[in-house]
Each structure stands twice: as structure tokens, then as C-alpha cells.
Amino acid sequence: MNRYLKLSAAACAVMLAACGKDAVKEITGPVPGSQIKFFNFSTGSPGVNFWANTTKLTAIGTASGTESPLGTTYSQAANGGLYSAVTPGQYDLSAQLSDTATRNVAIAHVTTTLANGKSYSYYLSGPYSSGTKTSDAFMVEDPIPARDFSVAYVRFVNAIYNANPMTLYAVNVDTSKHMAEVALGSTVAYKSAGTFTSLPAGTYNLSTRYPGSGTNVIVRSSVSFTEGHAYTITARGDINATSGTNKPALDNTANQ
């Protein structure tokens, strides 16, 4: 079984090059003040690792302790959906190919400044070009609300490059609660995130729609939200695909 390696920009300097064959060394020191999640939502993309400047932040290990060339593949979150801790500062955040033949070839970049005490999500997006070895990418801040154990919080991110702006809707599957369908935030364009919206804990059917339309664009059934937690629902895929891997889908990842 693969295991995810969680690395920080401050800590990786004490590891061997590319965080590859040897096990992570035990270190002590201050906890970095920023954190970031990484997602590979670029249709057709090979596996990648994510880097901050010249430091590898994500990789997949094997039972023998060596680094797998698999990387984070399409539709997956790096580090099992956990945040990677990073020292605040300015970075070139890149997605680099993880396979043996083209390892460390960067296919996308986002240049940004990570602030102390803030959380972020980085999305590899758009269609992957095998000819130029490039994809699109963007990053959003994750302004996670203060923990409230009476409700859950949910927001929507649009990572579909060829979709129009959409709104996320939710309706409780428990009809005895007599809850009407609610919009979770406002309309969200590609490369953008909506606001975290409070929602009673429960299991919901989700859908997205274009403004002024009553037709669902993407649906996902029976998604559970637990009180005291915050979640991001992200639209990924190719809006024109009707089947297969690239068919539009709604990803659910917990921020808290």
C-alpha cells in the first residue's frame, strides 16, 4: 500500500536530494506558519509531485522506503488530502512530473506569497498538453471559519476550465427535516472559490447549475457533512465529457 509523505519547506532541506530513497530524518524546530493542499485536477495529466521553489513538498513512498514514480494522479489530492506545512514567504509553486523518464519537469507554475497563519489550496487544472508538457494551475486561500460544533461549513471551487460560472446547491436527503434546497454561496467562475457557508450537519444531495438555469450541470448524491468541520466541494473534469475519467464530478475534501 502506498503511503503519503508530508513534508515542509523548512524541513525538507535536511533530507536527501529529492526526498527519494532514504527515510525522512527526525528533526526538531518551529512549526511553519502557512499550510497548503495540492490537487491534480488537470484532465489527461500524468502523475506529479508538488514543489515550493526547489523543495519537494509531496511524494508517494513505497513499503521499501523508496519514492514511487506514480506521484499524485488525476482526480487525487496530494498527501491524502492533508495540508503541507510551509514557512511563510514568496514561492514558485510548481507541479513537476513524477515518472522516471521525465521526472522533475515542471508542467505548471503559480508564483505567490504565502502569509503567516493562512491556509491555501493549489489546483493543477485545465487540459494537459503532452506535446508541450504543460497544464494550467491556480491557487485560492482557505479562510476556514472558527470551529462551530453546531453546524458544518461548505464552500465551492470551480476547477473546470471549460465550464461557465456555476452555483452549488444542497438539499438534505432526510425529507423528514423539511429543509428546502439551499445555495452554498454565490456563482463561482473557473479558478475561483466561493465563501464558506454554514449548513446543518447531515447527508446532502449536491448539484451545480448555471445562473438562471434550472438544469443541473453536475450532481453528487449522499455527501455527509459533520458538525464542527469545514469542507470544499470542487468541480473538476471536462464539461463536455459524458463518460469516462474526464466526466465532470464534484470532489469533497475536508479543510478542518
Say whether both 112 and 208 belong to one domain. no
Number of C-beta neighbours around residue 9 at 10 A: 24
Residue 24 confidence (pLDDT): 40
Q: Could you read off the pLDDT of 111-120 as tens digits, one per residue? A: 999 999 999 9
**pLDDT band at 6; cut points 50, 70, 90:** very low
More confident residue, 14 or 197: 197
What is the distance between the alpha carbons of residues 202 and 110, in angstroms, rounded to a whole number?
36
**pLDDT band at 15; cut points 50, 70, 90:** very low
Residue 114 domain flag: yes
Of 250, 254, 253, 153, give the one whose Cα is nearest residue 209.
250
- Reduced to 3 states (helix: H, G, I; strand: E, B; else coil), residue 95 is strand
Q: Which segment of 56-60, 84-88, 193-197 scores lowest on mean pLDDT?
A: 56-60
Q: Residue 163 has what DSSP assignment? A: P
Residue 16 confidence (pLDDT): 31
Say whether both 162 and 55 belong to one domain. no
Residue 64 confidence (pLDDT): 81
Residue 187 confidence (pLDDT): 98
> pLDDT exceeding 90 applies to what percent of the chain?
78
Residue 251 confidence (pLDDT): 98
What is the distance between the alpha carbons of residues 51 and 97, in angstroms, rounded to a whole number?
11
pLDDT at 96 over 80: yes
Q: What mean pLDDT value characterizes the chain? A: 89
Say whether both 101 and 205 belong to one domain. no
pLDDT at 85 over 50: yes
**pLDDT band at 105; cut points 50, 70, 90:** very high
Say whether both 30 and 120 belong to one domain. yes
What is the distance between the alpha carbons of residues 122 and 190, in angstroms, rounded to a whole number?
13
pLDDT at 218 over 50: yes
Q: Residue 26: which CATH number?
A: 2.60.40.1120
Q: Which segment of 102-106, 192-196, 201-205 scores lowest on mean pLDDT?
A: 102-106
Residue 217 domain flag: yes
Say whether both 74 and 198 belong to one domain. no
More confident residue, 26 or 150: 150
Give me the domain span that covers residue 187. 152-254
- Number of compact structural domains in the chain: 2
What pTM did the predictor assign?
A: 0.86
Say whether both 129 and 224 belong to one domain. no
Say whether both 117 and 188 belong to one domain. no
The grid cell for 238 is 471536462
**pLDDT band at 10; cut points 50, 70, 90:** very low
Q: At 70, phi and psi to the nearest 5?
A: -65, -45
Say whether both 156 and 128 belong to one domain. no
